[in-house]
Amino acid sequence: MIKPFVLMATAATMIATFLLIWDSPPESFLRQPTGQVEQAPVADSYMRDVQMRAFSVSGTQQFAILAEQIDLFTGKQEAYLVKPLISSRENSPDQLSITASLGVLDRAKNRFMLSGDVRLETYPPPRTTVLTTDQLSYFGDTGLVASEALFELTNQQARIRGKGLTADIQNRIYRFEEQVSAVYDVR
As to burial, measured by CB atoms within 10 angstroms (0-12 exposed, 13-18 middle, 19+ buried), residue 114 is buried
In a domain, 145, yes or no: yes
The band of 40, judged by pLDDT with boundaries at 50, 70 and 90, is low
In a domain, 26, yes or no: no
In a domain, 86, yes or no: yes
Give 98's strand partners.
86, 120
CB 94 within 8 A of CB 168: no
Between CA 184 and CA 64 the distance in angstroms is 33
Q: What is the pLDDT of residues 79-116, one digit of tens each?
A: 888 999 988 765 566 688 899 999 998 877 888 899 98
Peptide bond into 84 cis (omega under 30): no
In a domain, 113, yes or no: yes
The band of 17, judged by pLDDT with boundaries at 50, 70 and 90, is confident
In a domain, 148, yes or no: yes
In a domain, 60, yes or no: yes
**pTM over 0.75, yes/no:** no
Q: Which residue has the higher pLDDT, 113 or 17?
A: 113
8-state DSSP, 41: P
In a domain, 62, yes or no: yes
Name residues whose C-beta falls within 8 Å of residue 150's C-beta, 6 or more positions apart in sequence: 133, 134, 161, 162, 163, 179
Q: Tell me which residue range forms the domain holding 119.
A: 45-184
Name residues whose C-beta falls within 8 Å of residue 141's C-beta, 6 or more positions apart in sequence: 56, 62, 110
CATH number at residue 94: 2.60.450.10
Q: Given a cut of 90, is residue 135 above it in pLDDT?
A: yes
Between CA 168 and CA 100 the distance in angstroms is 19
**Number of structural domains found in the chain:** 1
Lowest-confidence segment of 85-94, 115-124, 176-185 by average pLDDT: 85-94
In a domain, 40, yes or no: no
